[in-house]
Amino acid sequence: MAKTRGQDAFRPIGSVSLVLLQLLSGAIPGNGQKADFEVFGPREPVLAKVGEDADLLCYLYPNINAEDMELRWYRDQPSPAVHVHRKGKDVPEEQMALYQGRTTFLKEGVAQGQASVRIGNVTAFDNGTFHCQFNNGTMSAEATLWLTVAGLGSEPRIQVQVDQDGVVRAECTSAGWYPEPQVEWRDFRGQMFHSETNVSVSPITGLWAVTSSLTVPNKAVGGMACSISSPLLTEKKVSRHHLPDPASRWFQSTAWKIVLPLFLAAAILGATVACFLWKRERA
Ligand SMILES: *[C@@H]1O[C@H](CO)[C@@H](O)[C@H](O)[C@H]1NC(C)=O
Ligand SMILES: *[C@@H]1O[C@H](CO)[C@@H](O)[C@H](O)[C@H]1NC(C)=O
Ligand SMILES: *[C@@H]1O[C@H](CO)[C@@H](O)[C@H](O)[C@H]1NC(C)=O
Ligand SMILES: *[C@@H]1O[C@H](CO)[C@@H](O)[C@H](O)[C@H]1NC(C)=O
């Protein structure tokens, strides 16, 4: 226990002296010191939208030629990999099924120790940790990088029912989100409603679907907006539903559905009779 703590305490000092050594060896060229290499990836997670491409860039320090190395991008275990590029050639046999046909090796800069793998048509299953490993045959170094996937879902669909007492029941549905989205209902003055939201994940796409329901006892509400947002995206999806005011609600009631056909029938009958009378007059 004490030993571990001691090692932890010394680690920062160790890495500082390592950096100093590297700086010194870099500053004095041709001093004959063994030139080890390190691999780095992006410091921040790479953000990609569902369906778009994501480039996972890694580079060597110092920036020595990587053309004759084996470059391997992988997820949890080195094999099968996301993409393997060995001495200038892709090795598709070593790819996991999820990445077959979806990756491109970008070799610009490989002579300067830099390379990327482009993942096409990003899905929810690509979200998470990646590693890239550079191996020159005797030595290997690697870096860890993160891909954060964001999915903007479909336009929310609002369905509304108003019962005889004027109680409004609305339901809002949308799918295709990643990660889990937030749902909010507001009236047209911006006042928030309390609602109940259920979420589910599609086993096929890994994307989230939401169903949110709302019950408003107040007859005077002019309408509602259902707004869905992702914690990773600034863009939101909003749908609005206008409720007819109570006076015009009669037009949507069942009474109107009976009266309208009767009215039309009477009108047709009236026209037919008028036409018949007019013809008889002329004859
Ligand atoms: C691999 O890199 C190490 C460190 O730079 C070096 O000592 C070694 O000779 C290299 N091996 C080959 C086969 O180039
Ligand atoms: C992207 O992936 C989705 C889901 O797997 C698939 O339906 C779609 O056809 C793919 N698109 C392309 C261009 O490969
Ligand atoms: C997606 O990956 C990031 C790392 O890139 C991780 O922090 C996050 O928890 C993952 N999201 C989900 C929903 O698993
Ligand atoms: C949410 O799930 C519960 C339990 O399955 C169900 O009773 C409720 O009606 C659902 N609500 C919505 C808005 O789908």
* Tens-digit pLDDT profile for residues 182-200: 999 999 999 999 999 999 9
- Tell me what the pLDDT averaged over the chain comes to: 85
Query: How do residues 123-157 score in pLDDT, each as one tens digit?
Result: 999 999 999 999 999 999 999 999 999 999 999 99
Query: How do residues 55-65 score in pLDDT, each as one tens digit?
Result: 999 999 999 99
Binning pLDDT at 50, 70 and 90, where does residue 250 land? Answer: low
Strands 223-229 and 128-135: unpaired
Query: What pLDDT does 270 receive?
Result: 84
How far, in Å, from the CA of 83 to the mean position of ligand 1? 23
| Percent of the chain residues topping a pLDDT of 70 | 82
CA atoms within 13 A on the CB side of 156: 28
- Sketch the domain layout of the chain as residue ranges: 33-150, 157-244
Ligand closest to CA 101: 2
CB 37 within 8 Å of CB 64: yes
Query: Identical fold at 33-150 and 157-244?
Result: yes
Residue 268 in tokens = 């047709």
Question: Pick the residue with more confidence: 165 or 42?
Answer: 42
Q: Say if residue 101's pLDDT is above 60.
A: yes
Please tell me the residue having the least CA distance from ligand 3 atom 13: 179
How far, in Å, from the CA of 87 to the mean position of ligand 1? 14
CB 210 within 8 Å of CB 177: yes
CATH topology of domain 33-150: Immunoglobulin-like (2.60.40)
Binning pLDDT at 50, 70 and 90, where does residue 249 land? Answer: low
Binning pLDDT at 50, 70 and 90, where does residue 253 land? Answer: low
State the closest ligand 3 atom to the C-alpha of 179, by its place in the atom list counted from 1: 13
Q: Say if residue 226's pLDDT is above 70.
A: yes
* Torsion angle defined by CA atoms of residues 7, 145, 70 and 117, in that order, rounded to the nearest 10 degrees: -170
127 lines ligand 2 (CB under 6 A): no
Q: Say if residue 18's pLDDT is above 50.
A: no
Query: C-alpha angle 100/104/140, rounded to 5°?
Result: 90
Query: What pLDDT does 262 receive?
Result: 83
For the segment 26-38, the average pLDDT, to the nearest whole number, is 52
Q: Say if residue 205's pLDDT is above 70.
A: yes
252 lines ligand 2 (CB under 6 A): no
For the segment 47-69, the average pLDDT, to the nearest whole number, is 97
Query: What pLDDT does 219 receive?
Result: 63
Query: Ligand 3: which residues within 6 Å by Cβ?
Result: 45, 127-128, 146-148, 179
* Candidate CATH numbers 3.90.1150.10, 2.60.40.10, 3.40.50.2300, 1.10.1740.10; the one for domain 157-244: 2.60.40.10
* Residue whose tokens read 């491109």: 104
Q: Say if residue 89's pLDDT is above 60.
A: yes
Task: Give the mutation target among 25, 139, 142 for probing the ligand 1 site: most ligand atoms within 8 A of CB.
Answer: 139
Q: Say if residue 50's pLDDT is above 70.
A: yes
Which residues, 6+ apart, have CB-to-CB distance to 51 below 8 Å?
A: 121, 122
